[in-house]
Structure 1
Amino acid sequence: MASLLEAIEIKRKMLFEFENAPYYCMDADVSSPSARGAQTLVRLKMRNMLTNAVFEKTFKAGEKFKEPDMVTVPASYLYSDGDGSHFLDQESFETLTLTEGMVGNALDFLVEGAMLQLHKYNGNPIGLTLPQFVELDVVETEPATRGDSSSGSSAKPAKLETGLEIRVPLFMKVGEKVKVSTETRDFAGRA
C-alpha cells in the first residue's frame, strides 16, 4: 500500500497523486490563518505529468494524497514512426512507445542509440527526461572566411543531424561534433 502524504507535507519538486493522475509540485505556499479555529491552507502550483497542464489549486492542510507509482528507468532511443517514438527499456529490454505529445520537442536532440531517462506511471511510459547535454554532428554550415571575426559576429548558423538549427563558432566545420544544451538549445562546446 502506498503511503499517504498530507497537503502540508508537499514541497517543491515532489510527486503526488491527485484525482488518479501523477502531479509534480512546482511551488507550494502555506497560509496560516490569523483567526482561531480557521484552517491552514496550502496553495500548490502543480503540473499534471500525463497532460503537462499546469495550474494552481488550494487544499486544506490535512487533505491526503497517495504517492504515485512512478519510476524512472534508463532507456535508449530507437526510432520514430506514425505510431510514435520507440525506446528500449535498458532494464527489462522491452520496447516502449511514447506519443508525439509525450515526447514534445525532445526529437530535436535524439539520434539512434541516445540514452535518456523514461518515466513510467503504473508501469506505462508517460514521458522522458533528456540529459543536460547531447553530442550531435554538424551536417550543414557555411565555411569560415578570412576576416569574418572583424564584423563583430563570432557565430554562424549550423544544421545538426537531427534537423535542429543552432549558432556555432566560426571555426566549426561540417562533420564535427558539437555539444548542445537540451535546456537552452544553445552550443555548449566541441564534443
Structure 2
Amino acid sequence: MKVYQSNSFRSGCKIIFEKEPCLIESNEFVKPGKGKAFVRLKLRKLLTNQLIDKTFKSTDLLEIADIVEYKLYYLYNDGFFWYFINDKTLEDFSVEKKVIGVNKKWMLEKDICTIMFWNKKPISIIPKVFVKLKVIKTDLILKRNTINNSTKLVRLNTGAVLKVPLFIQVGSIIKVDTRSGEYVSRIK
C-alpha cells in the first residue's frame, strides 16, 4: 500500500479518503504561530462528484488511489451501456449509463474520451474539451423579440440544447466547450 504524507499533497493527486477515491483540487500548508502545522485540502469525491473541505495534521498519511486513465474511442451505445475500444490493444470496454451521466450529450461516435478506472471499474468519463456538433432544430425568433434577445435555443444532433447567437441556422456546424456547455464558434 503506497501512501502520501501530508507534506506531499499536491493539486491533482488522487487519494483514498473514507474508502472512496478523491482528487485533490487545492491544498494549503498552514503553520500557525502557536500549535502544530496542518494541511487544508479541497477534495472532489470521484464517485459522487461531491466537493469537501478537510484539514489534516502534518503527520497524517493517506493511501494513493489506484486510478488509471485510458484514452478510448467511443463506438456506440444501446441505451444502457456505452461501448469504447482501445485502438492500440483492441480491448473493448462497456460503461454504464450512470457513469456517463450528462457527458452523453457531448459524445459522437469515433470521438476520443478519457475514462478513469478505479479497481478495474470505470468511475468517470471526460469527453473532448471542444466538440463540433450539427444544429438540427432552432427556435423561431420573432422580429420584435430581437432587441432584447441576442441568443436563441437550438437542439444539436446529440440531443443537447444550448443558447447560440441568432445567426446560427439549421444545418450549421458549431463548436461547443464541453466543460461549460457553451457555444464557442460557428465552423465554416
Normalising by structure 2, we get a TM-score of 0.83
Residue type of the partner of 1:13? Answer: G
Equivalence for 1:28? 27
Normalising by structure 1, we get a TM-score of 0.82
Cα distance change of structure 1 residues 32 and 158 upon mapping to structure 2, 3 Å threshold = same
* Aligned equivalent of 1:126, options 110, 123, 126: 123
Q: Deviations over 1:104-128 (max 9, x none)?
A: 2101111222221111223322111
* Aligned equivalent of 1:92, options 71, 89, 94: 89
Q: Percent identity?
A: 27
In the alignment, is residue 183 of structure 1 matched against residue 182 of structure 2? no
Deviation at 1:164, TM superposition (A): 1.0
Number of aligned positions between the proteins: 187
Deviation at 1:160, TM superposition (A): 0.4
Cα distance change of structure 1 residues 101 and 40 upon mapping to structure 2, 3 Å threshold = farther
In the alignment, is residue 138 of structure 1 matched against residue 135 of structure 2? yes
**Structure 1 unmatched runs, 5+:** none
Task: Provide the rounded CA distance (Å) in 1 between the counterparts of 2:141 and 2:53.
Answer: 50
Q: Deviations over 1:78-121 (max 9, x none)?
A: 23335332222334322222233322210111122222111122
Pairing 1:1-191 to 2, within 5 Å after superposition: 2=2, 4-35=3-34, 38-142=35-139, 151=147, 153-191=149-187
**Structure 2 unmatched runs, 5+:** none
Deviation at 1:143, TM superposition (A): 7.3
Task: Provide the rounded CA distance (Å) in 2 between the counterparts of 1:148 and 1:178.
Answer: 26
Deviation at 1:132, TM superposition (A): 1.6
Q: Which SS does the other structure have where 2:53 is aligned?
A: strand
